[in-house]
Amino acid sequence: MSQQLINHNPDLKKLRDEGLEVEVKGGYLIVSHVPYVNSQKQICYGRLVSSLTLSGNKTLKPNTHVIQFIGTHPCHKDGREIIEIKHNSQNQRLVDDLVVNHAFSNKPSNGYVDNHEKFTRYIEIISAPAKSIDPTVTEKTFKVIADNDDNCVFNYLDTNSSRAGISIISDKVKHQKIGIVGLGGTGAYIFDLVAKTPVSEIHLFDGDEYAQHNAFRSPGAATVDELNQHVKKVEYFKRKYSHMRKGIFAHDMFINSTTVHKLSKCDFIFVSIDKGEVKKIIFDFLRRNNIPFIDVGIGLEIVNEQLIGIVRTTTSTESQHAHVYERISFSDGEHDVYSTNVQIAELNAFNATMAVIKWKKLAGIYQDLNHEHHSTYSLNVDLLTGDNHAA
C-alpha cells in the first residue's frame, strides 16, 4: 500500500524520485536519512515524520505545519540547537516501533502547499549546517524502500488515528478476532464501529435476510435494488464494508446448540439477539471456553403516546461473570423488559456505542477506573448507571 500511495500522488512521488528515502506507515509519511549536526558538532542522520491528510488515496494539503523528528535535536554547526524551529521535545510512540523525539514548527503564511514543499523546507533548515561542514552529505540516497503494509486490514490508510496521534493506542486490538452474533439494529451498529478498528478478523453470525425494516435501524442507506435482492444480512454487511477493510467473515446461520461451537474461533463476542433460550446456550458455551463477551438489550414501552425504556450493556469476563445469569432474563416472554421489539436507530446506535466503549476499555484503549460489568441507561429520567464492578 505504501508504494502504491506514493506512486499515485505527485507530491510523494516527487520526493521519492528526487532520491529521498520515503515510506508511509500507519498514516504517517516518513523521510529517512536526513543529515543534521548534533550538539557535539558531529554529522548525524535522522528521520522526519508527519501525519498524512488524505481523501481516499489522494493526498491533500497538510493539515498542520508541525513536523516530528527522530534523532537528537538538530544544531547549528557550532553545536547550538536550532531554536528557531523548536516546538517541543518528548518521546512519543506513534505506531509500532515508530517513536519520535522532537516536534518542529516552521509556518509559512499560507501553510504548505503539499507534502513535497513541507518536507523539503524542513530538510533545508535541518540539513544546512551539516552540508556547510561537509558538502558531500545528502538526503538523496535513491535507496529502494520495501513496502511493509501488506498485512494492513484496511484498504486505505487510517489517517483518522494518525492525525489524532492515537494509532499506537488503537493498535491494542489489532490481533483480536471478534464475533458478532445478530445483525439487527444494535448488532449492525456494533459491526460498523468494530469494522473501523484494526482487529484482524470480524465474524458475522446471522441467518436472516436484510429486509426493508432493517434499513431503518442500521448504519448507512440501502438502495431499492439492494433490498430487492433479498440478500442475507451477513453478506449484505460484508459486501458493504469490504470496500473499507479485509478480514470480514460471513456465517449465514443462526447460533444454536449445534452451531455454537463456531464461536470458538473468536477472542471476543458481542451478543445482540433477543432469544433468551439461545442466549443461555451461547453464554454457557462462552463461559466454558473462557471467551469474554458483551450482551446488549433494549426494552421500550409506549406510555401516553411516548416511549420510555432502558438500554442495557452487560459484560462477562474471566474476573466477573456470575452476575450475567442474574441480570439477564432468558425468557422470551412479551413482558420481559429487554425483549420488547421496539427498535429505534438512535437507541440501537447508543447501545452499540456503550458496548464498543466497554470492549475498548477491556482492551486498554480507554481508561477504566470503575470496571463496571453491567450498565443501564433509563431514557425518561436520563439516568446512566454502572454496577457489578470487577475487583
Note the pLDDT tens digit of each residue in 115-131. Answer: 999 999 999 999 999 99
> Do residues 345 and 183 lie in contact, with contact meaning Cβ atoms separated by under 8 Å?
no
pLDDT in tens, 277-327: 999 999 999 999 999 999 999 988 888 988 898 999 999 999 899 899 888
- Residue 74, amino acid: P
| Same domain membership, residue 213 and residue 140 | no
Looking at the structure, do residues 247 and 130 belong to the same domain, yes or no? no
Does 164 fall in a domain? Answer: no
User: Structurally, how many domains does the chain consist of?
Assistant: 2
Within a domain: 161: no
Residue 236 located in a structural domain: yes
Contact 202, 191 (CB under 8 A): yes
CA atoms of 359 and 373, how far apart (whole Å): 11
Dist. CA 260–CA 222, nearest whole Å: 30
Q: What is the pLDDT of residues 200-233, one digit of tens each?
A: 999 999 999 999 999 998 999 999 999 999 999 9
Same domain, yes or no, for 237 and 349?
Answer: yes
Is 158 contained in some domain?
no
Nearest CA to 322 out of 374, 274, 369 is that of 374
Q: Does 146 have pLDDT greater than 70?
A: no
Is residue 347, in this structure, part of any structural domain at all? Answer: yes
Is the pLDDT at 163 greater than 70, yes or no?
A: no
Of 318, 319, 338, the C-alpha closest to 328 is 338
Residue 156: inside a domain = no
How far apart CA 50 and CA 115 sit, in angstroms, is 9
pLDDT at 274 (0 to 100): 87
Domain that holds residue 296: 174-387
Does 275 score more than 80 pLDDT? yes
pLDDT at 391: 62
Alpha carbon distance 292, 367 (integer Å):
18
Output Rg (C-alpha) for the chain, integer angstroms: 26
Cell readout for 323 is 452476575
Whether residue 24 lies inside any domain: the answer is yes
Lowest mean pLDDT among 52-56, 109-113, 268-272: 52-56
Asked if residue 144 and residue 185 are part of one domain, the reply reads: no
Q: 78-82, 310-314, 354-358, 387-391: which range is least confident on average?
A: 387-391
348: phi > 0 → left, psi -120 to 50 → alpha, else beta; which? Answer: alpha
Please give the model's pTM, rounded to 2 decimal places.
0.73
Q: Do 118 and 193 have their domain in common?
A: no
pLDDT recorded at residue 336 = 46
**What's the DSSP call for residue 144?**
P
Res. 335: pLDDT tops 80: no
pLDDT of residue 339: 46
Same structural domain, 242 and 283: yes
Judge whether 163 lies within some domain. no
Shared domain for 143 and 265, answered yes or no, is no
Same-domain status, 136 and 257: no
Residue 85 is given by DSSP the state G
116 plus 37 within the same structural domain: yes
Q: Which of 76-80, 97-101, 153-157, 193-197 has the lowest mean pLDDT?
A: 153-157
CA 327 to chain centre: 30
